[in-house]
């Protein structure tokens, strides 16, 4: 429980500081979008890396050479824990935003941070909103911000290795004509969710798979992209179990 208490205290302090830090970020954004993104990404990376350290999680990274350093991409994640997002923020290069469910738009200061990071909020019941999200996400990538999305659509709480993927998630890469990079998380749920509120120094494996260039795919390859990526991720997930 000590780790949980430390994490709660740390988050509380960050939220208090956010009342000053977020307006500064908004002010910077009035003069320079690039500077605002660097400011926001630097702070968020530091905050979340600290949470990662507090958790004590022992993380084994594989395939870090597959992380792009100088271009925005679409990151495809399997989703078992909030730590999937925390670790992705900590390990990737450049500004990154995430596609989150609409309900997360009501989390007060957390929502302010997400909007400062240019995150997108998806109403999963609204098909038209889903189409708009794809366009907005592609526009962000073309403007220099990587996008992270969990095509399972929700956190996997089942005994299945991976839930089915929503094919619409992959339309972002097609529309942006960018690369997509799959990231596979093993055992992140054992840090927190499997025994909430206890935070455990769990052994976690993170595998970054080689990028796929959506712009170079044939029509048939695009139709099969969701299934192809899921199979690759499942293979990596099972190999790391």
Convert the pLDDT of each residue in 108-119 to its tens digit.
888 999 999 999
What range defines the domain where residue 61 resides? 2-240
In the block, tokens 């824990």 appear at: 81
Closest by alpha carbon to 164, among 70, 59, 79?
A: 79
Coil vs helix vs strand at 205: strand
What backbone torsions phi and psi does residue 19 show, to the nearest 5 degrees? -65, -20
**For residue 42, what are the CA distances in angstroms to 28, 29, 60, 115, 147?**
14, 15, 23, 15, 17
Q: How confident is the model at residue 102 (pLDDT cuts 50, 70, 90)?
A: confident
pLDDT higher than 90, residue 196: yes
Q: What is the pLDDT of residue 132?
A: 92
Whole-number pLDDT of residue 143: 97
If pLDDT is split at 50, 70 and 90, which confidence band does 172 have? very high
pLDDT (mean) for 44-71: 96
Q: Compute the radius of gyration of the chain from its Cα atoms.
A: 17
Q: At what angle do helices 33-55 and 109-116 cross, to 10 degrees?
A: 130
Q: pTM of this prediction?
A: 0.95
Answer yes or no: is pLDDT of 124 > 80: no
Q: What is the pLDDT of residue 106?
A: 82
Q: What is the pLDDT of residue 1?
A: 80
Distance CA(196)–CA(198), nearest Å, equals 5
The pLDDT > 90 percentage for the chain reads 90
Q: Which two tokens stand for residue 24?
A: 């500064």
CATH number of the domain where residue 211 is located: 3.40.1130.10
Q: What is the number of domains present in the chain?
A: 1
Distance CA 105, CA 115 (A): 9
- What average pLDDT does range 91-109 have in this prediction? 90
Q: What's the chain's average pLDDT?
A: 94
Banded model confidence at residue 129, pLDDT cuts 50, 70, 90: confident
Specify the pLDDT at position 180. Answer: 97
SS3 assignment, position 196 = coil
Which positions ≥6 away from 81 have C-beta within 8 Å? Answer: 155, 185, 188, 189, 191, 192, 193
């Amino acid at each position: 429980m000590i780790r949980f208490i430390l994490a709660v205290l740390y988050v509380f302090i960050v939220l208090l500081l956010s009342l000053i830090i977020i307006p500064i970020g908004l002010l910077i954004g009035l003069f320079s979008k690039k500077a605002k993104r660097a400011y926001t990404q630097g702070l968020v990376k530091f905050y979340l890396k600290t949470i990662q350290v507090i958790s004590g999680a022992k993380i084994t990274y594989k395939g870090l050479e597959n992380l792009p350093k100088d271009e925005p991409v679409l990151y495809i994640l399997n989703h078992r824990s909030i730590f999937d997002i925390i670790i992705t923020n900590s390990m990737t290069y450049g500004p990154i935003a995430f596609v989150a469910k609409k309900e997360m738009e009501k989390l007060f200061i957390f929502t302010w941070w997400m909007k400062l990071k240019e995150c997108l909020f998806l109403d999963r019941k609204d098909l038209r909103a889903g189409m708009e999200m794809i366009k907005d996400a592609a526009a962000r990538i073309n403007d220099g911000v990587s996008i992270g999305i969990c095509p399972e659509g929700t956190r996997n709480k089942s005994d299945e290795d991976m839930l089915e993927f929503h094919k619409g998630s992959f339309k972002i890469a097609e529309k942006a004509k960018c690369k997509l990079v799959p990231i596979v998380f093993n055992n992140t749920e054992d840090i927190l969710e499997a025994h909430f509120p206890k935070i455990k120094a769990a052994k976690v494996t993170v595998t970054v798979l080689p990028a796929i260039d959506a712009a170079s795919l044939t029509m048939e390859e695009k139709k099969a992209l969701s299934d192809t990526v899921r199979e690759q991720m499942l293979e990596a997930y099972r190999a790391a179990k």
